[in-house]
């Protein structure tokens, strides 16, 4: 899942930055009322211990298997509802939980579109579909994505995203600067005649936290941080055409959500829904589809709208390329070390 960059842009690339569902700042969690900080999910361990590494790797193996299934399957004629439900089912069938709703973002929609209940949007043979999926075991997340292309004229976009990702993985080890990763990604994409999306980025990961405060840019940037061998990260180049603006904007649709507060609302049914979200998703993103498995859709929508208005839940918009040009994406999760990197979502 994509995070919006928290790095400084060069003057020529300056643009107002927004936050997405992925940009959960763990430092702000202390301000959230009634969050259970005695829960194991919030013990705040920062060092990747053996058990954590093992869980990251298990989640990565599952996520990579599902991603490769997605890569080779013919989705033409399938609805995005069918895609999201099938991919999420494959994650669960392998023994993990979904770290977030599967994203099926088509053409100029760069990220953050997941299916509505019974969503009728159907994949055509001209579509470029970014399928972003996440698996988690005990809150340790594997985040990976692939772009499925059925129109040969856009194969180059897909190849550019994959090559940029491969080049980035090849240079990673502990203490490498995030800005240098951004430079590598940008160089690879531009060399192939395309543009990186400047205001989308990869991100650090933590237990039950999809964006743990650090960003891996897709362009060269001033300053930044150095990779730590005590952290896991996701790297995800986004690529658009030469005609693209190289930025994304917020769309009108908001169909991915995340818990913001557990403070009681004095609405009994809404409070029950808050408890359901916490018990099933923790602070990770979720979709309306997941709630309609427990409640009627009309009631679920009304309660979710109420919780958004009460700021107990945050709704996040889809992200659209500013010139409405097509976008491709590739993504891996990795853990750097002194000698190189463990790419948890790489196939054997």
Catalytic residue among 88, 186, 236, 321: 236
DSSP string computed for 311-339: TSEEEEEEEEETT---EEE-BEEEEEETT
- Let me know: does 255 contact 116? Beta carbons within 8 Å: yes
310, 211, 296: which is closest to 267 by C-alpha? 310
Q: How far is CA 253 from CA 112, 239, 250, 293, 315, in A?
A: 9, 22, 9, 21, 9
| 338 is an active site residue | no
Catalytic residue among 116, 132, 180, 206: 132
| 331 is an active site residue | yes
Separation CA 329–CA 145 (nearest Å) = 7
* Angle at CA of residue 36, ends 205 and 96, nearest 5°: 45
* Angle at CA of residue 316, ends 335 and 250, nearest 5°: 100
| 175 is an active site residue | no
| 206 is an active site residue | no
- Let me know: does 199 contact 247? Beta carbons within 8 Å: yes
Catalytic residue among 24, 112, 203, 332: 203
Catalytic residue among 116, 119, 127, 143: 143
Residue 207 tokens read as: 């237990």
- Let me know: does 185 contact 329? Beta carbons within 8 Å: no
Active site residues: 132, 143, 203, 211, 236, 331
């Amino acid at each position: 899942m994509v995070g919006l960059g928290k790095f400084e842009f060069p003057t020529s690339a300056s643009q107002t930055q927004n936050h997405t569902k992925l940009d959960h700042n763990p430092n702000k969690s202390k301000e959230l009322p009634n969050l259970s900080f005695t829960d194991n999910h919030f013990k705040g361990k920062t060092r990747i211990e053996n058990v954590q590494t093992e869980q990251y790797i298990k989640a990565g193996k599952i996520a990579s298997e599902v991603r490769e299934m997605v890569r080779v399957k013919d989705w033409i004629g399938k609805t995005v509802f069918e895609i999201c439900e099938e991919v999420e089912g494959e994650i669960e069938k392998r023994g993990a939980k979904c770290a977030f709703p599967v994203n099926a973002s088509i053409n100029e929609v760069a990220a953050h579109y997941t299916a509505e209940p019974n969503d009728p949007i159907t994949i055509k043979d001209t579509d470029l579909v970014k399928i972003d999926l996440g698996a988690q075991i005990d809150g340790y997340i594997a985040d990976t994505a692939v772009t499925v292309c059925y129109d040969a004229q856009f194969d180059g976009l897909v190849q550019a995203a994959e090559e940029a990702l491969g080049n980035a993985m090849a240079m990673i080890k502990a203490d490498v600067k995030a800005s240098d990763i951004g430079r590598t990604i940008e160089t690879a994409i531009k060399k192939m005649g395309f543009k990186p999306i400047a205001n989308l980025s990869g991100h650090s990961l933590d237990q039950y936290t999809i964006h743990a405060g650090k960003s891996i840019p897709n362009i060269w940037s001033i300053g930044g941080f150095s990779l730590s061998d005590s952290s896991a990260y996701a790297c995800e180049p986004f690529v658009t055409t030469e005609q693209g603006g190289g930025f994304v904007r917020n769309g009108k649709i908001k169909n991915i959500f995340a818990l913001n507060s557990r403070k009681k609302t004095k609405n009994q049914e809404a409070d029950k829904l808050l408890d359901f979200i916490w018990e099933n998703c923790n602070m990770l993103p979720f979709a309306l589809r997941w709630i309609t498995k427990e409640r009627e859709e009309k009631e679920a929508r009304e309660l979710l709208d109420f919780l958004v208005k009460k700021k107990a839940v945050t709704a996040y918009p889809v992200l659209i390329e500013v010139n409405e040009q097509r976008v491709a994406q590739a993504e891996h999760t990795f853990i750097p070390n002194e000698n190189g990197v463990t790419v948890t979502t790489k196939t054997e």
